[in-house]
Each structure stands twice: as structure tokens, then as C-alpha cells.
Structure 1
Amino acid sequence: MPAGQAMNPPLALADFGSFYAGGRQVRIAGLPARDIAFTQTASLAYDPNGLYHFEQAYVQYFVPAALAHPLPIVLLHGGGMTGAMWEQTPDGRPGWLQHFLRQGFAVYVVDNVERGRAGWAPFREVWPEAPIIRNAEESWSLFRFGRAEDFAARRAFDGQRFPVSAFDAFIRHAVPRWLGNNDAALEGFCAVLDRVGPCLVMAHSHGGEVAYRALHARPELVRGVIGVEPSGFSPEVAAASVAGKPFLFVYGDYLDATPLWERLCDAGRAYAGELERQGARVTAWRLADMGVAGNSHMPMMDDNSDDIAARIGAWIRGAAA
């Protein structure tokens, strides 16, 4: 068992599995063939031209035997990450996937378009721009683990709850992303919702934009959204899509650490206000203002992640009954 992982009794599942959803078929033509060696003993002539399927999402789902809530939770990762961010913390503790299962929720973990097991398109004919990937230095400051100038020494903010000793394990989560794929990510996620049915969506960071846009594209399916430090939103808020539905916004600590986070918090407040004006039931948590200090941009990995998951679960049972 990894160091720091809590002992938990076995969890009984009624069902589990996985599926792909959405995407499109693309025919590549006009590229040169070449000889390749894909093992030390196997070589062949490789022709890249042909029919492919790209922009699908991958979903792994788990349904507990003791189901305590009728709506499943769909977990949507942030930018440059995959569904693995929900599975386990960098220092080996159970992730929110396990926490919400143990609270009796069916859980669907998404690798959206271009991420993880969803796969990606290597052809510029499909995605013309080059991908980016987040480096360790950017992660350190952007995710509010500590000041940029303290990265080399790994000196975190005072009271920081992220397991800084496992930071090098954390940056293994980073994967390439294509900045022009937001519309494709929306379409892939909507295809997931079509398979899952009515649900609650829990979206982190960049996943917020996808989730709030999907709320408007599939209002009959998205029955509420938990935005964990969302960094994007839908361009408009329609009463027909949001009225009467519960919304939770969760923010951690050190939000004044950078001008970017001050702007993102202002944008989140404005969006929450528009949701309320259109009839939504909105709850906003600033954990530090609630006496829960020290949380980073990654509360699902911080050392009090189980407490925050329990708080969110209680909110769901009260607000999304």
C-alpha cells in the first residue's frame, strides 16, 4: 500500500465498466508512406493515409451496491490533466472517486477529448496547432502551492495543505492539450452526458467552461454543477437551462496570490450572480472564510480532501435531493 493511504473496508459495487462516446471519423489522404520499426524485430511499410476516429471521450464508471442518491456524479478534469486526478492523491491517499463512491454516489470519471485514454490526433490536418503542456514551475505558482520564487526550494505557502513532498509525483499528471479544442471538448462531453443521462457534473478549473456550456447544450441532463475553482464559464446564462437547479462554487485559499486568481474569482462571482438572477440556487464556498484554511487549487489532493468531499456530499444530499 502506498505511504499515507488510509485503510478502508472493501467497497461493494453493483456495476463498473467503461465506454467511449462521441468523436468523428476523419479520412487522411495525401501523406507520404514510410518504413517504420515498431519493435526491434518488426518492421513494415507504414501508410498514414486512411480512416480514423478522433475527438471521442473515454469514461470509466462505478456504481456502488448501496446507492444513496438517484443522480450520478460525472467528474470532469481540468486543463492539461486527465480523469486520473480524481482517482488518488499524489501521496497515495484515496481520491474523490473513492470518497463519493463510499458516500453512495454512482461516479463517472471522464477523460475528455485529447486526454488520457481518449487518445489524440497526431495529424495537423485534424488539429493544426501545436499542443502545449504545463511545466512544473507554472504548476507550482498557478495552482497556488507557493510563490514562484520559492519553487526551487519547494517552500510552500504557510499552512499549505497540498502534499508538497509529493509534488514531483503530481506533475506526472500533466499531459498535452490543444488550445483550439474547446468546442470539440464540449461536443465530446455532451456525448458522454447522452450516455449517462440525468446527472450532476463536478468540474475542475478549465473543465468549468465545458461543464457550464454543456449545461446549456443539455439542460435536461445536467441537473446541477459543482464548480471546483472553475476558470471558465458559458458566454450566456439562460433561465430555461438553470432555473431551480443547484450550483456550488468551491474556492480554496491564497486567492490573492496572483492577479490571475483575483480576476478568476471576480469572474466566478459575476457568473454566480447571473445564475441567481436567472433563477438558479447558488451556494458559494470560500473555504478559508469558512475556517478551512490552506487549500490549494487542487482540493481533491490536499491533506483535507476527505473532509471537503464529505462537505460536498452533504451539500448534494441537501441541495440536489
Structure 2
Amino acid sequence: MKALLCLLTTGLVARFNLVSGLNLTIGNGVLHRRSYFYVGGSYTPTSGSSNESDVVVSSGQMYVEHLVPLTVTHKLPIVIIPGNGMTGTNFLNTPDGRTGWADYFMGQGYELYIADQPSRGRSPWQQNIDGPQMTFDALTIEQRFTATTKFDLWPQAHLHTQWPGNGSRGDPTFDNFYTSIVPALQSNTEASLKVKHAGVALLDRIGTRTSAVSPQPAIVLTHSQSGQFGWLLADARPSLVKAIVAIEPMGPPFINAVFPPFTPARPFGLTEIPVNFLPPINTAADLQTAVVSSTTNFTCIQQVSPPRKLANVSKVPVLLVTSESGYHAVYDSCSVEFLKAAGVSVDHVNLADVGIYGNGHMMFMEKNGQEIVDRVVNKWLKQIV
């Protein structure tokens, strides 16, 4: 039975509904406790100071928003790392005002840690210490994420139907989304080093909060550019990453695709910085590769046989989710092939294959985002954890 409570405070009325005997909703949101903290920072001398032993600032720290529902029913928390130019607001609510994946997970009894990558959003960028930044212009967002049918830059782009609104400047939903986008580090190598350092500190903090003898792992959820960080954290702390949910993770292996220039990238396959392989490698050049297929906007490169295995990442199960119309529909299968050849257990879900149509790269913000997290992500988590 649902219970209804009314709380009168400073003249305001808040409605609370008991959901499945577990957690309360307040209006459209789940009742929870919110706190925040920073991990991974260090005191760094400022460039050009006359006495660098005294003139220091904190750099490299990562903001983490900690959300705990009234009733926690899952002992493993979820760590969420948003993609390029984004902050944790991506998962709090949608640009048109609906509840986001954070509320869904809390409604299921999950504790959440939502990060802003170092040097971005609420994680400070330090002038003269951190590298240069970039900001996505509005046209790029329209072309790649929200109004892809207007531009038709890849074969599946015309299938996009789930973005709320017309996806263009002047539409309130687009404007709300675009104004949330923040400057991000230009260098994926620098971003990788910073997120790995801070992310490991976060996993260590989570892991030892209940027992230093038996550390507690977490589920890591990544999106797009942050996909590479899931592999890095699993490599650095395989015992502290229970599973990875990769929503259209950065790829494909070894080369850029879809959007020119098609330059070499991710020299370790799906990461910019080293991960552990078996047999071990000294440099990225030790990975022997070959082109297995090529089109006008995408080349699939794989390790030659026998492929080296990802020594630590292969210990962690992965769910990789691909939308019907997003540009990752072009190449995610190549990323999956690389992971599987390297010994990683991957469940690859193309949303259209399970009857979920019309989504793009920002699927968790789209009209059917709750269906995706419920039918695909949570269903998989129930099987794994």
C-alpha cells in the first residue's frame, strides 16, 4: 500500500509517496541524502612564482556527488562518470524536466557517486597548471546529438526520433541542455591521467569505507569519452570494479571514425594511456594490428592473431549499450570485437535489437530513457550483481 505524507515546512507542502515499501518519492524525485566531497587533488606549485615552495594550489581533484536513498537495498554502489563536456547534471534530470537515471537507480535502492571529471565543472581547472580547454559549439551538439536527422552525417542518423523537442537552438529543451555544457580538457591523454588518479582514489575510498580487510567494489557507469576511464579503472583496481556499464564508449580501436580527420588515436586499443596486457607490452607499438574492414567514414582495426589479453580488464564483466541512430551504431561492434578478442566478457545490446527504437548518443536524456535503464541496464545488473 502506498502511504502519503505531508510535510509542512516554512509554508511549503511536500508530497512523499512510498514506493514498493522501499523508497519515498518527493514529487517526481526519490527522497535521498545528498553530500559531496573531492578526491585525487594534490598541492602543486603555480607556474612562474618566485617562491614555488610556498605558492601552491590544489589541482587534479575530482568533485563527487554522493546520493543515498532512504533505503539502500544494494550493497554495491554505482559510480557515474559523464562524457566529454558534460557534468554530473546529465544524470540528475533531463533537459525537459523529467527525472533522470540517478532517480531511477535510487528508486531501485542503489547508492550513487556522480563525478565531474578533473578540470571540469565543479572540479577546478587551474590556469598555468592544467592543459588547454575546449567547448563544444552549439552546431556540433545539434549535428551529433540532438538534431541528427537534419544533417544526416552517418547512415543511421535519420532514425533519430527520441530527443525531446526539435534539437535546435531556440527550442527550450535544447537550450537547457546546451547551456549545461562546460569547457573540458583538449587532451584525452591528460584527461585520462587525471581521471585515473582521482578515480582510483574514489574506488579506494568506497572500497575501504566498511572494511579494510574485505574491500567493497563498485559498479562503474561510463558514457562516450568517459568510456576509456572504465577500462583504466578496471585495469588499475580490478578487485574494486564489480562491473562496467559502458554507454556508447569512446572508440573505435586505434583510430578516429565518422568525423574527420580519421587520425590514429587510442594507441592501446580503447585507451590513450597504457593498460596491462598478457603477454606484457613495453610500448603501444608492441600491439600488432591489422585493418579488418573499411568504409568511407570508418576503419575497423584489430589485433592480429593471437591477440594479447587485457590482463585486468578481462576480470570485469561489461555491458555495452548502443543506440539505433547514434554515430556509435557505425563502430561499436568493432570496439566489442576488440574487447572480446582481448578476453573481456561483453554483453553488447543494440537497442533496436530489443525493440527500443529511435535513440541517439544522449539516450539517457531522451523520451524513453527510463525504458532503457529499466529494460536493459537494470535487467543486466540484476543478472551480474
| TM class by smaller structure | 0.7 to 0.9
Give me the whole-angstrom Cα distance separating, in 2, the residues matched to 1:101 and 1:306.
13
Inter-partner Cα distance in structure 1 for 2:245 and 2:112: 14
Q: CA deviation at 1:157?
A: 4.1
CA distance in 1 between partners of 2:243 and 2:34 (Å): 23
Deviations 1:274-312 (A, max 9, x none): 35xx2x432111101221101110111010111111121
SS in 2 for 1:173: coil
Which residue of structure 2 aligns with residue 272 of structure 1?
339
Selected match of 1:187 from 182, 197, 209: 197
Check 1:245–1:229 CA distance in 2 against 1; reply closer, same or farther (3 A cut). same
Quote how far apart the aligned CAs of 1:62 are.
1.5
How far off is 1:244 after superposition? Answer: 5.2
Secondary structure of 2:312 counterpart: helix
Distance 1:190 1:267, change over 3 A: farther
The answer to whether the Cα contact below 8 Å between 1:89 and 1:95 also exists between their aligned partners in 2 is yes
AA aligned opposite 2:338: Y
CA distance in structure 1 between the aligned counterparts of 2:141 and 2:31, rounded to whole angstroms = 36
Counterparts of 2:44 and 2:310, CA distance in 1: 37
Tell me which amino acid in the other structure corresponds to 1:310.
Answer: D
State how far apart, in whole Å, the 2-side matches of 1:132 and 1:122 are. Answer: 14
**Counterpart Cα distance in 2 of 1:273 and 1:144:** 31
Consecutive unaligned residues in structure 1, runs of 5 or more: 1-6, 33-48
Find out whether 1:246 has 2:313 as its counterpart.
Answer: no
C-alpha contact 2:230 2:244 (8 A) present in aligned 1: yes
The one of 250, 271, 276 equivalent to 1:231 is 250
2:117 to 102, 112, 117: 112
Separation in 2, partners of 1:217, 1:145: 38
* CA–CA separation in structure 1 for the residues paired with 2:340 and 2:334: 10
**Matched residue, 1:27:** 45
CA–CA distance in structure 1, aligned partners of residues 47 and 118 of structure 2 = 23
Q: Is the 8 A contact 1:229 1:250 kept in 2?
A: yes
> Which 5+ residue runs of structure 2 have no aligned equivalent?
1-16, 18-23, 166-170, 208-216, 252-269, 278-308
Distance in 1 between residues matched to 2:144 and 2:250, nearest whole Å: 12
* TM-superposed deviation, 1:315: 1.3
Is residue 82 of structure 1 aligned with residue 101 of structure 2? no
Whether contact under 8 Å (1:69, 1:317) holds in the other structure is no
* Counterpart for residue 176 of structure 2: 169
- Contact persistence 1:145–1:160 (CA under 8 A): no
Q: Distance in 2 between matches of 1:54 and 1:148?
A: 41
What letter is aligned with 2:381? Answer: I
CA distance in 2, matches of 1:140, 1:103: 33
Read off the aligned partner of 2:335 and give its amino acid letter: G
Shift of 1:56: 0.4
Say whether the 8 Å CA contact 1:228–1:249 is kept in structure 2: yes
Pair 1:30–1:144, CA change in 2 (3 A): closer
Mark the CA change 1:110 to 1:29 in structure 2 (over 3 Å): closer, same or farther.
Answer: closer
Q: Secondary structure at the match of 2:244?
A: strand
TM-score (norm 1): 0.80
Question: Aligned equivalents of 2:47 and 2:162: distance in 1?
Answer: 51
SS in 2 for 1:91: coil
Q: Which has the higher contact order (CA 8 A, sep 6+)?
A: 1
Q: 1:192 to 1:249 in 2, by over 3 A?
A: same
Contact 1:29 1:50 (8 Å CA) reproduced: no
1:217 to 236, 251, 255: 236
Q: Answer yes or no: is 1:295 the counterpart of 2:359.
A: yes
Q: State the partner residue of 1:127.
A: 130
Q: Percent identity?
A: 30
Question: How far 1:162 sits from its partner (Å)?
Answer: 1.1
Please name the residue that 2:381 is paired with: 316
Is the Cα–Cα contact under 8 Å of residues 87 and 120 in structure 2 kept in the other structure?
yes
TM-score by length of 2: 0.67
Q: Contact between 2:248 and 2:320, CA under 8 Å: does it hold in 1?
A: yes
Shift of 1:200: 0.4
SS in 2 for 1:296: coil
